[in-house]
Structure 1
Amino acid sequence: MLLWQNCTPHPKARQLKNGDLLFVTAKETGLSGAINNVTQKQKEASFDHIGIVEKENNHWYVLHAAPKGGSQKQDLTSFLKDQSNDGQKVMIYRLKSDYQKSVPAALKKAESMLGKPYNFNYILDENSYYCSDYIERTFRDNKIFKLEPMTFIDPKTGHTNEFWTEFYRKKNLAVPEGEPGCNPNGLAASEKLERVGEL
């Protein structure tokens, strides 16, 4: 981590505040498309990943849970490069002023969860996290977000999305329809957040 402390700050980081949430737009295929297919809430934006930003020693980091590396603290420039390689955009959302007081405790909680593996089953587990699960937990003590019954039903057909049927069949698990969980689109739709713009 020390290698990054003398780097030039990212030019777009000026619009960031500690505790801002970065939402990554969804791709249309694969896991990303399958997540979005059953969770999209807004026509103008659909997301498949989320992280929280923290400024430390005048440098920005993104704390997030990703398939590669699990729960991690990544340099902002490196995080943005990973997303742009896939042609995805990163949108900044911020807690409204009434909820900003929850940020310091949330960042402490996020730091305490670093190093855990990624939860590839998307079924809540205390020993591994997926991206929105990691963020929901960081703010759980302040009840910023809430867990909701998960759905894997394709709204176009009314049946379980084929991707998810196959996904869980390969793991010898039942599709966790109705189990508590969260997703980036659900978090982005929270009335406690405001959209700041694109990073």
Structure 2
Amino acid sequence: MSSVVAHGDFIFSVLGRDENAISAVEAGYRGARFDHVGIAVEQDGALLVLEAIDPEVKAGPYANYVERSKNTEGLPRFAYARLLPEYRHLLPAAVRYGMSQLGVSYDKLFLPSERQLYCSELIVDMFAHANGGPFFRETPMSFRRDDTGNILDDWSRRYAHYGVPVPEGAPGSHPGGLSLDHRLHVYRVEPAVPGYQR
């Protein structure tokens, strides 16, 4: 088990290129450009990461999660965050609900749905369930570069492929936005996280 991360910690990471269709639309904690998030779960003495990732919600070894976050130079690109103490009572119910979602299909189109989930949506749902109502706020999603305001070509191509319009403004969540929530304490950021300003 890691000497740093603990049960219930959020692990924000970068799985694709330093700048990609997800990371380019919203900056997170201190400018960090995250494109993924999972939550650490201790089970039978092992540390797993519960996450919604193609093709489905799963809980895999923490070491594998860390390995996937490395850039081409082998440097990890992730950050740890922990709920403030006054909110940690929500963790048991949140994790139970999250684990009940194992096997739910990944939502490649990032649409509001109970039948499919994307990474930050899983976590928003987990804590809404534990809280008996909304906890992490959903916001209008954007598929536009936050520096130019233009919809990224990657998103235009993806939605054209599925024959649906880009859901600009639909309610949702983003790993970057989640990392800014005032109820989370970001306690470690790896230096290789793109955009991160110390």
TM-score (norm 2): 0.85
Shift of 1:84: 2.5
- Supply the AA of the counterpart residue of 2:61: D
**Residue 194 (1) aligns with residue 181 (2):** no
More relative contact order, 1 or 2 (CA 8 Å, 6+ apart): 2
- Separation of aligned partners in 1, 2:62 and 2:177: 24
1:96-121 Cα distance to aligned partner (Å, 9 max, x none):
11111111111001111111111111
Q: Distance in 2 between matches of 1:92 and 1:101?
A: 19
Q: Report the Cα offset of residue 163 of structure 1.
A: 2.1
Corresponding residue number in structure 1 for 2:80: 92
1:47 corresponding residue in structure 2: 34
Pairs within 5 Å for 1:45-194 = 45-67=32-54, 69-84=55-70, 87=74, 88-141=76-129, 142=131, 143-194=134-185
- Counterpart CA distance in 2 for 1:51 and 1:155 is 24
In structure 2, the residue matched to 1:18 is 7
Work out the percentage of aligned pairs sharing the same amino acid: 28
Q: Secondary structure at the match of 2:116?
A: coil
Pairwise CA distance, 1:89: 1.5
Q: In structure 2, do the counterparts of structure 1 residues 42 and 73 end up closer, same or farther at CA, with 3 Å as the change threshold?
A: closer
- For the residue of structure 1 that corresponds to 2:12, the secondary structure is strand
Compute the TM-score of the two structures, normalised by the length of structure 1.
Answer: 0.85
Unaligned residue ranges in structure 2 (runs of 5+): 191-198
Unaligned runs of 5+ in 1: 1-8
Paired AA for residue 82 in structure 2: R
**Alpha-carbon distance between aligned partners in 2 of 1:26 and 1:145, rounded to the nearest angstrom:** 23
Q: In 2, distance between residues paired with 1:42 and 1:15?
A: 19
Please give the alpha-carbon distance, in whole angstroms, between the structure 2 residues aligned to 1:14 and 1:153: 38
Distance in 2, matches of 1:16 and 1:36, equals 23
Deviation at 1:60, TM superposition (A): 0.5
Residues 144 and 192, structure 1, Cα contact 8 Å, conserved in 2: no
* Whole-angstrom distance in 1 between the partners of 2:83 and 2:17: 28
The Cα shift of 1:153 comes to: 2.2
Alignment check: 8 A CA contact 2:71 2:77 kept: no
Asked if 2 retains the 8 angstrom alpha-carbon contact of 1:22 and 1:93, the reply is yes
Q: Distance in 1 between matches of 2:139 and 2:30?
A: 20
Alpha-carbon distance in 1 for matches of 2:101, 2:162:
25
Stretch moving more, 144-153 or 39-48: 39-48
Residues 78 and 161 from structure 1, CA distance in 2 versus in 1: closer, same or farther, beyond 3 angstroms?
A: closer
